[in-house]
Amino acid sequence: MHANLTTAFLETVVPTARKEREYFWDKELAALGVLVRTGKRRTTKRWVVDSAAPRQFGTYPEMTVAAARAKVEEWVKTGADPRPAPAETSRKAKVEDARGALFKDVVPGFHSDEGPRWADKTKQGHCRRLSAAYFGELYHKHLNEIGTGDVTEQLKTIVAEHSYNEARYAKWSLMELYAYAIAHGLAKYNPAAGAKVYGKPEAAGESKGQVIPPKILGEWWLAAADEGDYGRALHLAILYGGRISEATDMTGSELEGDIWTIPAERYKTDVDHSLPLTKMALDALAGVTRETGRLFRISNPRRSGRKLMARLKAKGTDVSGFRPHHDFRHTFRTVAVNLPELKAAWPSLEERQMMVDLAIHPKKKAKHDRHGYDKNKHLAEKRIVFEAWANYLSRLTGGNVVELRAAVMA
């Protein structure tokens, strides 16, 4: 279609009915055109030259009508391509000019150049994984000296020290780093592309997350003691490997003797979940008013968790990349199975894993089960698990395990 390509025309033009894209060519300068595309959210307008073989060379309104017309007139007179010339040299030449690039020297540029387009969670993950803590000696090597076998061996170490899923994320971070390095002439090839992650993937329904190192876990616990009701609820959630909402929404009616029963409507698997209150938990709740309604006044647990992380970072504790509630639960499940008290009670690893899962994640009752789920079953086994976990926390924090003040009801 031909039209006078003016600013007024371009501000209002859309493809004709039933078309998602359409070319409009200028009546005066036949070689000048605009390609109009309509998507679900917006309409784009791109300048094109040469109706016989249209080539795009700019976008309206970033390139004005006058600028586009001048470029095409120059093309008509001299044959000069209106498209911008490539700013970079060939990849081969760039690699030869940057043979000295080291893994650790490329990482800062990768974060600064690519970071603005990432979500916060992605940025934190890349920053944590692309480090000497994850990649060991490779972090100090030249990128072109690292082979696929080297990456595979390092991923085995990450599986052993962290988890299978964390090794997969580490591989992804390394692939992103190499893609950036190749584009900027700092590497010849991407060894991470052919690397393999050996191990057992987490099964469906299994907890996914990261294990919080002991030192950081202890510092996190102690810092929570100064956070008022949120800190008290977080302590309970850590003590029982629970979800933060299970503690923040706790009511006095859920407490009976030395048993805390989370009702089915508040629990993920729709069953009543009974937890034996250990001596440490009973001491923590001794001053709490046991009435109906919530025991803790917390408006936004997620926001409170982020504020606590910010305070920890200000004190020099590196909590970047951890999720303040999810990763506590994963740490419980991972660490508890290897505690000495559990090994004494259940020598088999399979038995310990079963008991830890039973303690924090009762299964939803089957439809054919006429008797239903017995919430009080296995209370003795649960007590062993939670007492062992409390002892572990006590060792991390020098005995300062619980400092819960009374939560006064309105």
- The pLDDT, as a whole number, for residue 291 is 58
- The pLDDT, as a whole number, for residue 344 is 92
**Which of the residue ranges 147-156, 376-385, 397-406 would you say has the lowest mean pLDDT?**
397-406
Across the range 223-247, mean pLDDT stands at 84
Q: In terms of residues, how long is the chain?
A: 410
What is the residue whose two structure tokens read 């595979």?
Answer: 152
Q: What is the pLDDT of residues 295-326, one digit of tens each?
A: 878 888 888 888 898 889 998 988 887 877 77
Report the C-alpha gap between 262 and 272 in whole angstroms: 6
Is pLDDT above 80 for 256?
A: yes
Please tell me the CATH code under which domain 214-396 is placed: 1.10.443
Cα distances from 65 to residues 11, 59, 79, 84, 85, in angstroms, run: 11, 10, 20, 17, 21
**Which of the residue ranges 74-83, 221-230, 377-386 would you say has the lowest mean pLDDT?**
74-83
Yes or no: is domain 2-78 CATH 3.30.160.390?
Answer: yes
- The pLDDT, as a whole number, for residue 130 is 92
Half-sphere exposure of 5 (CA within 13 A, CB side): 28
Q: Measuring CA to CA, which residue among 236, 325, 336, 338 is closest to residue 277?
A: 236
Is pLDDT above 90 for 151?
A: yes
- The pLDDT, as a whole number, for residue 177 is 92
Residue environment code for 152-172, b if the CB has 16+ CB neighbours within 10 A, otherwise e: bebbeebbeebbbbbbbbbbe
Is pLDDT above 50 for 21?
A: yes
**Which of the residue ranges 12-26, 138-152, 177-191 would you say has the lowest mean pLDDT?**
12-26
Question: CATH for 92-194, among 3.40.50.1580, 3.30.413.10, 1.10.150.130, 3.60.20.10?
Answer: 1.10.150.130
Q: Determine the straight-line distance between the first and last CA of the chain, rounded to whole angstroms.
A: 73
Domain boundaries, the chain: 2-78, 92-194, 214-396
Q: What is the pLDDT of residues 160-195, one digit of tens each?
A: 888 888 899 999 999 999 988 888 888 888 999 889
For the chain, the C-alpha Rg in angstroms (whole number) is 30
Across the range 11-27, mean pLDDT stands at 77
Across the range 51-74, mean pLDDT stands at 85
